[in-house]
């Protein structure tokens, strides 16, 4: 089943009173510990896709990227050039992905098999960091 792409699109300029905010970092190359090695990613601009909570069993993954998410797309948010984003969301649990050239990326899972789950509580802002590291070596 193909993912639906009807959703709200917002930028990071809005003030968020309830929802999610965070920053996205890109990691590529060798991140093995050693003298003179930096283990820091660099902030990166990306589209953030927020879906209804999705499990690993529901989504289709090829290599390290997802290409089909059957859950409903709730919202797409664009980070700023420093990788920062924020958006309002109603209370609930969502799966958050970054849009890459070859597909969608997420690499965090909970004990129930949900992909990058983020829970929003009434009146609260949930903060997250997204490390896009599918091209990094550790």
CATH number of the CATH domain containing 105: 2.60.40
Q: Is the pLDDT of residue 8 over 60?
A: no
Select from 58, 63, 89 the least CA-distant residue to 75.
89
Residue 102 lies in a domain: yes
- Residue 49 has which token pair? 């896709």
Model confidence pTM above 0.75: yes
- Residue 138 has which token pair? 């550790």
Residue 138 lies in a domain: no
Residue 62 lies in a domain: yes
Residue 63 lies in a domain: yes
| Boundaries of domain holding 107 | 8-26+40-126
Q: Per residue in 38-84, pLDDT tens? A: 667 899 999 999 999 999 999 999 989 999 999 999 999 999 999 99
Residue 61 lies in a domain: yes
Report, in this order, helix, strand and coil percent for the chain, each rounded to 5.
Answer: 0, 55, 45
Residue 34 lies in a domain: no
Total domains in the fold of the chain: 1
């Amino acid at each position: 089943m193909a993912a639906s792409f009807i959703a709200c699109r917002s930028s990071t300029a809005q003030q968020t009173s309830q929802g999610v905010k965070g920053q996205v970092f890109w990691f590529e190359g060798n991140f093995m510990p050693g003298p003179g090695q930096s283990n820091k990613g660099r902030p990166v601009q990306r589209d953030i896709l927020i879906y209804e909570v999705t499990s690993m069993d529901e989504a289709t993954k090829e290599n390290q990227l997802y290409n089909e998410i059957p859950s409903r797309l709730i919202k797409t948010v664009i980070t700023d050039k420093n990788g920062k984003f924020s958006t309002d969301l109603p209370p609930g649990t969502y799966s958050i992905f970054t849009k890459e050239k070859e597909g969608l990326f997420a690499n965090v899972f909970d004990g129930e098999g949900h992909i990058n789950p983020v829970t929003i509580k009434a009146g609260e802002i949930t903060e997250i960091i997204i490390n896009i590291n599918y091209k990094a070596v550790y």
